[in-house]
Amino acid sequence: MIEKYTKYDHLFRHVKPHAIGGIKIFTQNDPYLIEQKYDEVTDEERQIWKRLFEKLIQPLDQYASKEYLLGLQALGLSSDRWPNFSKLSPTIQQASGWQLQPVAGFLNEYLFFQLNAQRKFPVTDIIRQSKRFEQKYADQNIQNRDEYTPEPDIFHDIRGHCPFFMNKEYGDFLAEIGKLGYDIIADKYGWGPELVAHNLKRLQNFAWWSYEFGIMKKQNDSDEYRKTNNDMDHEIYGSGIISSYDEVMNVVHCSRRESSTSLILPFDIEEVVLTRFDYSDIQDRYYVIDSMESLYTTFENNQDLFLFKG
Ligand SMILES: [Fe+2]
């Protein structure tokens, strides 16, 4: 685990000591690959999916990015259908070369980047608020609300992430992050564990503040894809925001300057890679990219930031 290597942590700001407390982390030695037992999904679980899905239909139509809305439509997700990985995965594969890999829970960095480097996206099959979720965390105190859980669940993975994988450029971008992460973790450059951990944390920071919790400037053409025009200056592309009603509304209120709960900052990649984060609450900041293309270019042109040699 990279947490125990802290030699270069003084370079980071916004360090949150217990940022991932409580989450069970699966490693190479755990049975982390699973098969989805679609026939065992309960009515209770389907109702939760429906409730969470429907609450977000309107705000996501109005505020999510074009890439998300187009992907959602193409993938055909709906509130009435519990996601069936074996049906969704071939559709995604055809669009971007990515496949869904059902997993038992939160994977360590090694497993996560190893899968991503092969264009496999880990997805979990339990949902927050359900009995199965409660059983899994029976001996741990973990947030488990409609609006947010730090544990990856099917709602975050499918509703939040999957529509983006219908976009080829986005898929290529995530595969590049996966490859870089895997190269770092395999210590391709012979740095040793401290530098491996540090560069991996830099990449995690980048991922967190971009595809998990990123927002972008409102794009000129994106209202064409909405039923309701976007009335704020930003749109949302971070999957961690998209799968949380509270986080979506927090972005909306902050963007419209009705709330000052969270800062809205320009996406300065040097600042982003050195800024740690917290899983356990609404984010206290969001970084704004100009467009998806600008994010891809910034990542490509700043690879040296993830190859810090001490
Ligand atoms: Fe995620």
Is the pLDDT at 20 greater than 70? The verdict is: no
Confidence grade of residue 210 (pLDDT, cut at 50, 70, 90): very high
pTM summary value: 0.95
Whether the CB-CB separation of 120 and 111 falls below 8 Å is answered with no
223 C-alpha to center of ligand 1: Å? Answer: 26
pLDDT tens for each residue of 50-97: 999 999 999 999 999 999 999 999 999 999 999 999 999 999 999 999
* Residue 281 pLDDT: 82
Give me the pLDDT at residue 278, please: 85
Q: How far is the CA of 196 from the centre of ligand 1 (A)?
A: 22
Collect all residues with Cβ–Cβ distance below 8 Å to 46 and sequence separation of at least 6: 82
Q: CA of 195: how far to CAs of 37, 176, 185, 244, 310, in Å?
A: 40, 20, 10, 34, 7
* Amino acid of residue 46: R
Helix (H, G, I), strand (E, B) or coil at 243: coil
% of residues, the chain, pLDDT over 90:
81
Q: Which residue has the higher pLDDT, 87 or 152?
A: 87
* Å from CA of 240 to ligand 1 middle: 6
In order of their start, the domains of the chain are: 12-306 (1.10.800.10)
**What is the distance in A from the centroid of ligand 1 to the CA of 5?**
24
Label residue 16 by pLDDT band (50, 70, 90).
Answer: confident
Compute the distance from residue 147 Cα to the ligand 1 centre, in Å. Answer: 15
Residue whose C-alpha is closest to residue 213's, from 270, 143, 158, 264: 264
Q: 3-state DSSP call for residue 294?
A: helix
Query: Cα of 8 to ligand 1 centre, how many Å?
Result: 25
Closest CA to 245 of 160, 154, 122: 160
pLDDT above 70 coverage of the chain, percent: 98
Q: What average pLDDT does the chain have?
A: 93
Ligand 1 centre to CA of 241 (Å) is 9
CA 148 to ligand 1 centroid distance, Å: 12
What is the CA(151)–ligand 1 centre distance, in A? Answer: 9
At 178, list the tokens: 């996966």
CA of 269 to the centre of ligand 1 (A): 20
Residue 157 Cα to ligand 1 middle (Å): 6
- State the residue for tokens 């741990």: 140
Distance CA 267, CA 289 (A): 5
Reported as half-sphere exposure (CB side, CA atoms, 13 A), residue 266 has a value of 4
Determine the pLDDT at residue 243. Answer: 96
CA of residue 206 to ligand 1 center, whole Å? 13
Q: How confident is the model at residue 17 (pLDDT cuts 50, 70, 90)?
A: low
Residue 275: pLDDT band (50, 70, 90) is: very high
> In the structure, what pLDDT confidence band is assigned to residue 150 with cuts at 50, 70 and 90?
confident
Average pLDDT over residues 8-20: 79
| 109/117 Cα distance (integer angstroms) | 12
- Which tokens belong to 172? 């290529």
DSSP letters, 130-152, are: SHHHHHHTTTS-----SS--SS-
Q: Is the pLDDT of residue 19 over 60?
A: no
Mean pLDDT score, 39-45:
95
Q: How far is the CA of 106 from the centre of ligand 1 (A)?
A: 10
Q: Identify which has the larger pLDDT, 108 or 59.
A: 59
Cα–Cα distance, 90 to 26 (Å, whole number): 26
